[in-house]
A and B are shown apart, each in its own frame.
Chain A
Amino acid sequence: MSGRGNRSPLIRGGVADVKQAARGFRWGRRSQVPRSAEPFVPEATSTVFRSDWSRRKPAIVAREAVQKAGLEPLFRSQVRTSVRGLDVFDGLKGPVIFAANHASHLDTPLVLLSLPDAWRRRTAVAAAADYFFDTWWRAVGSSVLFNTFPIDRRGGAMAQTPGEVLDEGWSLLIFPEGTRSPDGWMHNFRMGAAMLAHTHGVPVVPIAHQGTFAAMPRGRNWPAPGRRLLTIRFGAPISPRRDETVREFAARVKDAIAALLDEETSTWWESQRRVASGSTPDPEGPQVAQWRRLWDQTEPLADEPEDRVFAWSRRK
């Protein structure tokens, strides 16, 4: 047997079958339901795999090795990052809740790999139970790699609640939007992060990042070529006030992220003045045609001039 032309019908047909199946059944990607079949999809079963093991010593050691030897080199080979606001960690004691806008699967590694190592090692990531914990291999993979724990987006009970993880001294990374933005702009916040901060008396560290939607939006499973720039900015921790409701606090967290996003395109001083005057740009973006919203968010971030000096910044 040599050469493509001599391959037997068994192999030739097998290759064609595998190619068709790989394409049609979206191997390596999440399967999709035809739109007209969506009303007939059965209720998802509540099989959620446990993840508490991933916060024990052996898993922590394994994760450190995987993140530093595998994830970080791979991540940095595909994208560049610009990290600002690391000064917020000076004197800050955990646990805290990191609340960030959510536009891509790159968000989690971006946040984790931007954290100081000591904080990164003690941070767990809230992940949708129906997405990351529906199969054992996905649950194990995400838990080992990112220290994820399941949260139910539909409000069901989990084996281990976020509050318990928090009580064990772990900081939490939560994306309050609950899902990746379909257009890169920020969307409505759910109450979970604010509620946890409120009930457990921990501060929220707002995080704003940009560029992940342009680099790897929904539907892509690998970053766009060209080592695109991602920016991330940590804000000063904020705590619920004594007389503040959860809803009001959630709005304040969102405003803090909006101010950080504003700061990204201007300066800290200008953004603070706009906060004071109530003229911070709406992080949900302008109400214009969808293509214009997408167009705006898919523009690659421009590199900053080399001579501009930032305090507490890190570039890789």
Chain B
Amino acid sequence: MSRPGFVLEVDDRTPPLLVHEGLGFRMEDFPLGTRVVYPPESLPTVPDVDEAIREALLNPTDSDPLPALLKAGMKLTIAFDDVSLTLPTMRAPDVRQRIIEQVLTMAAAAGVDDVELISANAFHRRLTTTELEHIVGERVFRSFYGQGLLTNHDAEDHDNLAFMGKTEKDEHVVMNKRAAESDLLVYVNITLVPMEGGHKSVGVGLSAYNSLRHHHNNDTMVHSTSFMDPPNSELHASAWRMGRLIGEHVKVFQIETSVDNNVFPKPYDFFMKREWEWSVRDQASMLAVRRGLSVAPQRLRHKIFHDLRAPYGITGVNAGAVEPVHEKTIAKVYEQQAVEVQGQSDVLVMGVPYLGPYNVNSSMNPVLATCMGLGYYFNSYRGAPVVRRGGAVILYHPLDEGFNQLHHPSYVDFYEEVLAETTDPAVIGQKYEQQFADDPWYIHLYRTSNAYHGVHPFYMWYWAAHAMDHVDDVIWVGGNRRAAARMGFRAASTLLDALEMASDTVGPSPSITYLHNPPHLIADVTP
């Protein structure tokens, strides 16, 4: 029986609490009275994943069974979520591999010859062969990659993009031509957080700039309150309009999965436990890991963390029509992650871990750390933000990992040139976005190397736009002062220093809430 999430109130019995900060963590003594939001424990997982997949494919929701949709001579495309899911990378075999293998087995039995697999990476970097193989498995990789039938989606290959029309809000809908012209598009998804899945899978993952610009912008993100709550998210409203338009032209068979909260493997599983329940072994592990990390060079710490493989369990597999499938999936995700929180606080504290969706096998540069803290974590709410309007956010991250020149070349220019001019997401969007989106060098690197698209850092900044609009102060504990200042924030050495600095905004005795994640949680806030 898994225990629900809950809100701890720090008292004299509370041990120091774990806070992630990049390639490390610290044990923090929070002020008495601080509220700490703990995620629920892992839900029971499906007893037999392969059987659950088979059941979902044979008895889909609002759709004929998959075998009935597969015919000899048809054009079948299988698209799947890219390396940004799961976080950390799932321990092999990846659930996408298990699903794709069953889909292909059924396709082979039906005599389907024309099959292609596409990684739905939109403006994310192209996946390496190792990453592709990890997701689809050796058998699928060997059968399709060498023949050019397992590819990354190329959002700048205009010859292979299809214009699908305009939504009722005049939004252009463009998508991968192969997928658009297929008799059946099977999409294989992992919904790690409520933002993902649904019409966002095809509508965003296989689209291009002319579509993305309609919802990946400052205005949409400020009005997505939050983007983890699709009914109240402008981002999702736009993606749903586009997805429905696509659905009028393309038969989409959506397969969605949800996972439990089993994020960290041993001996790092103490990250997921409630500190007062730590065994002697957990405490010893904590001390050993902290000491080890303190003497390890940056490269080794990076390797230690990025080599972690998550032992996620599968809590649900649903297949069929996009919207009813997603309803089931999202319900399971909320069941796993939602925690009731009464009232907002003056200060929100969050520890930014080593990993986000955009630095898998890469560096968490300051822009991505901001996106993780003020974007993903800040938006992990329903109802109202955990922090009141005009409050302060305190984040933990050293902001010292620098930029990965292979993966994030445009981030360097964004950081050095754009943020040096202004940090206002609205101004940045108006003044600089088009220039980065059209830059031929960035496009070249995106298409031929392993670089995120030139415009991607803008999206990361928009991701944080709602938080920047909502709070008056952002302070990074342990953060590089120059990096924090470049982004328009401040840095402090300790939590007490940060609270002292924030007292100008929230007074000397603010109410404080700390979100104890990962594992991921969604705060259901009653204002």
Contact = CB atoms under 8 A, between A and B. Distances in A.
Contacts of B16: 20-21, 24
Interface string B286-319: 1100110011000000000000000000000000
B14 A17 contact: no
Contacts of A37: 6, 8, 274, 276
A9 B9 contact: no
B13 interface: yes
Given A20-B27, A21-B16, A40-B3, A33 B291 contact: no
A40 B6 CA distance: 8
B10 to A, nearest CB: 7
Nearest to A10: B295
Interface string B7-40: 1111101111000000000010100000000000
Contacts of A20: 16, 27, 29
A10 B294 CA distance: 7
Interface string B475-501: 000000000000000000000000000
Interface in A20-62: 20-21, 24-26, 31-37, 39-42
B128 interface: no
A26 B12 CA distance: 11
B141 to A, nearest CB: 43
B11 A34 contact: yes
A18 B291 CA distance: 10
B338 to A, nearest CB: 15
A14 B287 contact: yes
Contacts of B422: none
Contacts of A14: 287, 291, 294
B278 interface: yes
Nearest to B4: A40
Interface in A36-92: 36-37, 39-42
B283 interface: yes
- B contact face: mostly helix, strand, loop, or mixed: mixed
Contacts of A21: 16, 27, 283, 286-287
Contacts of B15: 24-26
B294 A33 contact: no
Nearest to B9: A36
A17 B8 contact: no
Contacts of A17: 27, 287, 290-291
Nearest to A11: B291
Max chain B C-beta neighbours (<10 A), residue from A9, A13, A34: A34
B296 to A, nearest CB: 11
Nearest to B278: A25
A178 B279 CA distance: 27
A36 B7 contact: yes
Nearest to B292: A10
A32 B13 CA distance: 6
B32 to A, nearest CB: 11
A9 B291 CA distance: 10
Nearest to A13: B294
Nearest to A42: B3
Contacts of A32: 13, 276
A34 B13 CA distance: 5
Nearest to A32: B13
A36 B287 contact: no
B140 to A, nearest CB: 41
B90 to A, nearest CB: 27
A36 B361 CA distance: 39
B9 A34 contact: yes
Nearest to B6: A40
Contacts of B291: 10, 13-14, 17
B29 A24 contact: yes
Nearest to B14: A34
A37 B275 CA distance: 11
Contacts of A9: 294-295
B10 A34 contact: yes
A19 to B, nearest CB: 11
Interface in B264-283: 274-278, 283
A18 B15 CA distance: 13
A31 B10 CA distance: 15
Contacts of B13: 32-35
A36 B8 contact: yes
B366 to A, nearest CB: 25
Contacts of A34: 8-11, 13-14, 276
Contacts of B10: 34
Nearest to B284: A21
B504 to A, nearest CB: 29
A24 B16 CA distance: 6
A91 B6 CA distance: 61
B135 to A, nearest CB: 36
A35 B283 CA distance: 21
B44 to A, nearest CB: 15
A42 B27 CA distance: 24
B34 to A, nearest CB: 11
Contact of A35 (B11, B274, B286, B294): B11
A26 B278 CA distance: 12
A24 to B, nearest CB: 4
B6 A24 contact: no
B7 A25 contact: no
A13 B8 CA distance: 28
A240 to B, nearest CB: 43
A18 B288 CA distance: 10
Pairs of residues from A and B, 5 with the lowest C-beta to C-beta distance, nearest first: A24-B15, A32-B13, A36-B9, A24-B16, A34-B14
30 contacts: A10-B291, A14-B287, A14-B291, A14-B294, A17-B287, A17-B291, A20-B16, A20-B27, A20-B29, A21-B16, A21-B283, A21-B286, A24-B15, A24-B16, A25-B278, A31-B276, A32-B276, A33-B13, A33-B276, A34-B9, A34-B13, A34-B276, A35-B9, A35-B11, A35-B13, A36-B8, A36-B11, A37-B276, A39-B6, A42-B3
Given A25-B283, A36-B6, 5 more contacts: A17-B287, A24-B15, A25-B278, A34-B13, A37-B276
Interface of A: 9-10, 13-14, 17-18, 20-21, 24-26, 31-37, 39-42
